[in-house]
């Protein structure tokens, strides 16, 4: 084969590779991406990464905060998707990968799926630790926006000679992060199952842990997390005093009956402690007899109870989500969330500030409504706020007062 023939053959192969890349819908990486942190970004005018991209550009990072705006020409503010690709040369070592997204995100490194969270999200954080060898590594990120605000925060750093970090991984579906180590303190935010955060403080008995939740410092009940490496974490708080239980004991007495609020089952334990053996559960709405107590422990007011052969202790404020009331109390209206996530707002309109978010399947007491019941006022673990009635299934609203 002559030199000219070889040159023509190589040119034909290059054209064929380019056509295959274009037909597959995957943009070729720019030359700069082969040796640094440049990303090839493909933006799609749909949330499914289908068809040809609306446009392709080079970016310094996948991190973006579009808010309620559009990412570029030909793309709406909602229902779009993006692919970022990059090849980077790294030193051998341990790396921390952290992404926070609204809505879905997937991260692949060298073809391995390290983050797989392709679902609606109000801005959850996902992280993992991985070991990589020296040399070039291929990064591939998929993202989609379903509706509302849109952002992706991406961080990938090497862990260098750092002491072992104490961490807590959430085991509950949703867990309140509070301003202090007790169930009656203010809810600052909520975190979800599987999320892991640094532990920066604790009570002396490790019953409550102080976390750094994306810059928010708050406390969680240790019963609802799996914690690791707590040995060097400083004691930064004191157990709540008996004043947490002040005024509650008078509501019930030995020999009286009490009722668990609808939709909120209560744990029954062998002794008045959240770390005591679990002997059973009282379903929401069930009635029990008070046989002993009350006693205040761990910031919880506990009663010894009897219900259908079940004997043990149950408390007000276990984990910040369980409450009881005298059995003769008026039946509450309740609302069960039907949306994936639902904003709880300070007033009955879509422009009011967001106080917290609640999730599908959760049930809360309805304490008020507007005149046409299109907005309902809920008690969300002590936070009083409004939700759009379209996104809940509500019952027993007949006696709920008009409050807004």
Domain ranges (residues) in the chain: 22-158, 167-232, 242-326, 333-395
Phi-psi region of 229 (alpha: psi -120 to 50; beta: other; left: phi over 0): left
Of the candidates 344, 349, 354, 351, the one whose C-alpha atom is nearest the C-alpha of residue 370 is 349
Ranges of residues in the chain with a pLDDT under 70 are 1-37, 161-163, 238-257, 259-265, 284-285, 297-300, 316-332, 382, 399
Residue 25: what pLDDT? 37
What's the confidence (pLDDT) of residue 76? 93
**Fold for domain 22-158?**
Jelly Rolls (2.60.120)
Q: Say whether domain 333-395 belongs to CATH 2.30.30.40.
A: yes
Q: How many residues does the structure list for the chain?
A: 404
Confidence (pLDDT) at 371: 85
Distance CA 180, CA 189 (A): 12
Q: Which two tokens stand for residue 293?
A: 């107590």
List strands edge to edge, sheet with 135-145.
55-59, 39-44, 80-90, 135-145, 104-109, 112-117
For domain 167-232, the question of CATH label 2.10.109.10 is answered with no
- Does the pTM of the predicted model rise above 0.95? no
What confidence score (pLDDT) does residue 254 get?
64
- One fold for 22-158 and 333-395: no
Topology of the domain comprising 242-326: SH3 type barrels. (2.30.30)
pLDDT of residue 333: 75
Written as six digits, the tokens of 335 are 């609302």
Coil, helix or strand for 268? Answer: strand
């Amino acid at each position: 084969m002559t030199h000219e023939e070889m040159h023509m053959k190589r040119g034909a192969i290059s054209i064929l590779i380019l056509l295959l890349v274009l037909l597959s819908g995957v943009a070729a990486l720019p030359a700069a991406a082969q040796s640094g942190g440049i990303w090839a970004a493909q933006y799609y005018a749909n949330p499914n990464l289908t068809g040809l991209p609306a446009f392709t550009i080079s970016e310094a990072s996948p991190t973006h905060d579009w808010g309620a705006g559009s990412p570029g020409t030909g793309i709406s503010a909602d229902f779009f998707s993006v692919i970022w690709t990059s090849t980077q040369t790294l030193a051998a070592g341990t790396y921390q990968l952290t992404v926070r997204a609204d809505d879905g995100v997937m991260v692949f490194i060298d073809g391995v799926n390290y983050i797989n969270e392709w679902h609606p999200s109000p801005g959850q954080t996902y992280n993992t630790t991985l070991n990589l060898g020296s040399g070039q590594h291929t990064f591939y990120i998929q993202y989609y926006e379903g509706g509302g605000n849109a952002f992706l925060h991406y961080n990938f750093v090497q862990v260098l000679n750092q002491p072992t970090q104490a961490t807590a991984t959430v085991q509950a579906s949703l867990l309140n992060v509070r301003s202090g180590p007790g169930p009656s303190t203010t809810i600052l935010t909520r975190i979800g199952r599987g999320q892991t955060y640094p532990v920066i403080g604790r009570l002396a008995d490790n019953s409550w842990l102080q976390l750094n939740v994306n810059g928010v410092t708050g406390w969680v009940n240790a019963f609802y997390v799996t914690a690791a490496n707590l040995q060097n974490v400083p004691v930064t708080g004191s157990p709540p005093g008996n004043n947490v239980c002040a005024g509650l004991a008078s509501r019930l007495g030995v020999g009286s009956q009490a009722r668990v609020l609808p939709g909120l089952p209560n744990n029954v334990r062998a002794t008045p402690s959240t770390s005591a053996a679990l002997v059973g559960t009282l379903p929401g709405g069930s009635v029990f007899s008070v046989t002993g107590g009350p006693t205040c422990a761990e910031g919880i007011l506990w009663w010894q109870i009897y219900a259908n052969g079940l004997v043990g202790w149950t408390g007000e404020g276990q984990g910040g989500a369980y409450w009881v009331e005298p059995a003769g109390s008026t039946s509450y209206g309740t609302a069960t969330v039907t949306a994936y996530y639902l904003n709880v707002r300070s007033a009955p309109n879509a422009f009011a500030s967001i106080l917290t978010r609640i999730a599908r399947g959760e049930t809360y007491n309805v304490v008020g409504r507007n005149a046409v019941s299109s907005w309902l006022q809920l008690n969300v673990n002590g936070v009083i706020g409004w939700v759009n009635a379209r996104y809940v299934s509500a019952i027993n609203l007949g006696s709920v007062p008009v409050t807004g």
